[in-house]
Chain A
Amino acid sequence: MTNPATLHRAQNVRNRRIQNGTIVSFTTVRHPPEGFGTQPYTIGLIALEDGTRVMGRLLSAEPASIAIGMHVAPKMRLIAVNKEGLRRYDVAYEILSDVPAKEEFRGYIIALTGPSGVGKTTVSLVLSTRAGEFVERVPILTTREAKEGDADEYTYVTAEAFADLEKAGEIVAVTHIPSASEKRSYGYRAKDIEKIWSKGKIPVVITEMHLLQGLASHFGRRSILSFGLLPPGKSKRQMLSSLLHRLRSRGRDTEPEIEDRMRNAKEDLTFFEERQELFDHIIVNDHLETVFEHLKGHVLKYAEEPAQ
């Protein structure tokens, strides 16, 4: 389908496919279907870094040199022109190397993802205190001001320092959250995570969609033990109302800040629905002890598995 409406919808999901990946299989289509011209082209089934699989054109001068397992990088490419002359661009993939690279695995990272107010910080605190010999929290780099009620989870830096670190490639996962008053940035440094690995522990990070995707694409989806935390409630509305209740009762944020957080929380809940493949386990945070026991079970399982 190449009408403007379907092309527009396709554009909305296109950005997710802009990731490096590995060739699972490939074929050269010698007889294109209607609307795809008459010249043969090569299509790959690609496993992207976040674990999703997609179909995409492979850009290579010589199809005979392509092999399963090769690494590829995304590139925009003209795919088809419809009858009205509307040009359709899609993500194609360029072969990165002729040598199939080995998938590097350096260790596990526990990622807790969930909307603001769901209790990510509390869960991570409980986990690091009560299973401290196995896990350690990774400090979050942030440009926002320190506030009363903050736990010791943040490392505060200026916006300039943050931008410099990001440019230098030290920050491997980053998210910028625009609020009414200022733009706040949060990020994780690779060296903080590596330091925890060197102690033989599993790093615990608190993430949202951008941070989670950043970590998955830097360390590989396989490294991330991804837990989604949901507030109790049978419907989205009930979940949002229990979040609002928690945000108000913890008294850390002003009313306009809470409004901001609720807006983001709505997006986060949608993200849970749309990107299920990014989560290994979904946990409803209705009772802290149950959540802790559940997480501890997983931690012990992976703590015994040695890093390669």
Chain B
Amino acid sequence: MSLRDLMAEAIAKAIDDAGCTALDIDTVIVGNMLGERLSGQAHLGALAASLLPHRPPALRAEAACASGSVAVHTACALLESGRAETVLVIGAEKMTDATNEVVAAGLMGAADADLDSPSGLTFPGIFGLITARYMHEWGLTREQLNLVSAKHHANAVLNPFAQFRTAIPAEKIGQSPLVADPLRLLDCSPVSDGAAAIILSTKTKSDVRLAASSLATDAVSITERPTITSFPASREAAERAYADAGLRPSDISVVELHDCFSIAALISLEDMGFASPGEGISLYSQEPDIAVNGTGGLKACGHPVAATGVKQIGDVCKQLRTGKKRYGLAQNFGGACATCCVHILEHA
């Protein structure tokens, strides 16, 4: 499937599910990071709009792995300002046509081209540095870290949209090949193709609404940060989202977070107030009160870069409906959390 095919399928499913028709859509926003580099395709706004009968106004948003959620954030701004009434947001990424080296070099576009890339670093490398430091500071063990990907894989078994619907025992995670020490293959989210679409509207009624959409940024290079075991952008985006929605972390029942690498799940749980610093692993070693990456997360569901942020919101929505829960949260970040976007959903 091409980038266009992926988008077409997601758009059709979103329209089927929505309480409106294609012709109600007055704006299209596409999140995508690597179209030019991996598919030779830019100009994705118009490409997506041309898949609709009436070709509405369209644009593209890019913020590395946070492109999807930033597209949603942009849609919220248009809706709140009154510029748009019904927005179709699509996140799409086509990655498997290129070789691994080209994908690795392309993803490094999310890091700092002056400060990070010249050393020969990759994204697994950046998170390898973060993991090594986290283990040094908090004494996290390899055996504990294994629990993260194992849990995400177990959660994906029943998800028909997951890339890997197989359970993997914890000890197998620690035996997989090293990618960027101490990270191993099964600590890393895969290279994936995928698209996700949601429709946001101020005029069509729905049982689920967005209660908050907040965006924060940080230094792109981790060399310019005083600490690498916590992500201030995540803290800031979450705190503002809680404030906007009038909620506390304990009010949230469903969380989809950005586990591009296993360590990122632990740091994100701590930064967003679901665990104290250094104790994120407790949500994997014990049975937590909240559902964390109930669909399998980036690890097992797949991580088609810009699709992820949109997909998470769709997945939180589905889980709130099936679980009859009230509040859910989606956290999506780009690079080493230089962009973080947090959305809170409320189910009536």
Per the bound structure, the CA–CA distance linking A56 and B125 in Å amounts to 12
Q: B105: CB under 8 A from chain A? A: yes
A13, A34, A45, A56: the one contacting B102 at CB < 8 Å is A34
What B residues does A41 contact at CB under 8 A?
A: 120
Measured in the bound complex, the distance between the Cα atoms of B181 and A28 in whole Å is: 5
* Contact yes or no, B228 A25, CB < 8 A: yes
Is A29 within 8 A of B105, CB to CB?
no
Contacts of A24 in B (CB 8 A): 129, 133, 228
- Whether the Cβ atoms of B133 and A30 lie closer than 8 Å is no
Q: How many Å lie between the Cα of A13 and that of B117 in the bound state?
A: 15
Q: Are B121 and A43 in contact (CB under 8 A)?
A: yes
Q: Which of B291-341 contact A (CB under 8 A)?
A: none
Q: What CA separation (Å) do A27 and B180 show in the bound complex?
A: 6
Known: A31-B124, A34-B101, A68-B136. A45 touches B222 (CB 8 A): yes
Q: In the complex, which of the residues B178, B180, B224 contacts A53, with contact meaning CB atoms closer than 8 Å? A: B224
CA separation between A63 and B132, bound complex, in Å? 13
Interface of A is mostly: strand
* Cβ–Cβ contact A43 & B120, under 8 A: yes
**Complex Cα distance A97/B335, Å?**
33
**Among residues 89 to 130 in chain B, which have CB atoms less than 8 Å away from a CB atom of chain A?**
100-102, 104-105, 108, 113-122, 124-125, 128-130
Given contacts A30-B180, A34-B105, A53-B223, contact A43 B119 (CB under 8 A): yes
Contact of A29 among B124, B222, B224 (CB under 8 A): B124
Closest Cβ–Cβ distance, residue A110 to chain B (whole Å) = 23
Complex contacts, A53 vs chain B, CB 8 Å: 222-224
Is A57 engaged at the interface, CB distance under 8 Å to the other chain? yes
Q: Is B132 touching A27 in the complex (CB atoms < 8 A)? A: yes
Binary interface encoding of chain B residues 157-187 relative to chain A, with 1 for a CB under 8 A from any of its CBs, else 0: 0000000000000000000011111110000
In the complex, chain B residues whose CB is within 8 Å of the CB of A1: 113, 117
A4 at the interface (CB under 8 A from B): no
Give every chain A residue within 8 A of B224 (Cβ-Cβ).
53
| Residues in chain A near residue B125, CB distance under 8 A | 27, 29, 43
Complex: A55 Cα to B223 Cα, angstroms: 7
Given A27-B181, A45-B223, A45-B228, does the pair A55, B121 have CB atoms closer than 8 Å? Answer: yes
A25 touches B119 (CB 8 A): no
Q: Which residues of B contact A80 (CB under 8 A)?
A: 120
Does A33 lie within 8 Å of B104, measured CB to CB?
yes
A26 to B222, CA, bound (A): 13
Q: What's the nearest-Cβ distance from chain B to residue A184, in Å?
A: 35
CB contact under 8 A between A29 and B118, given known A35-B105, A63-B181? no
* B108 / chain A contacts, CB cutoff of 8 Å: 33
Q: How far does the alpha carbon of A54 sit from the alpha carbon of B121 in the complex, in Å?
A: 12
Which residue of A13, A28, A63, A79 is within 8 Å of B119 (Cβ)? A79
Contact check, A79 vs B118: say whether CB atoms are below 8 A apart: yes
Does A10 lie at the interface of the complex (its beta carbon under 8 Å from any beta carbon of B)?
A: yes
The contact of A36 among B120, B128, B179, by CB within 8 Å, is B120
Q: Is A208 among interface residues, defined by CB-CB distance under 8 A?
A: no
Residue A256 interfacial (CB < 8 Å): no
User: Interface residues, chain A, CB within 8 Å of chain B?
Assistant: 1, 10, 13, 24-36, 41, 43, 45, 52-57, 63, 68, 79-80, 88, 90
- Hey, which bits of chain B sit against chain A, CB under 8 A? 100-102, 104-105, 108, 113-122, 124-125, 128-133, 136, 177-183, 222-224, 228
- List 5 interface pairs A-B (beta carbons < 8 Å), by A numbering: A13-B114, A29-B121, A29-B124, A54-B115, A88-B118
Q: A25-B133, A27-B125 known; 20 other A-B pairs, CB under 8 Å?
A: A1-B113, A10-B118, A24-B129, A26-B132, A28-B181, A29-B180, A30-B178, A31-B101, A31-B124, A32-B104, A41-B120, A45-B222, A45-B228, A52-B223, A53-B224, A55-B115, A55-B119, A68-B133, A80-B120, A90-B119
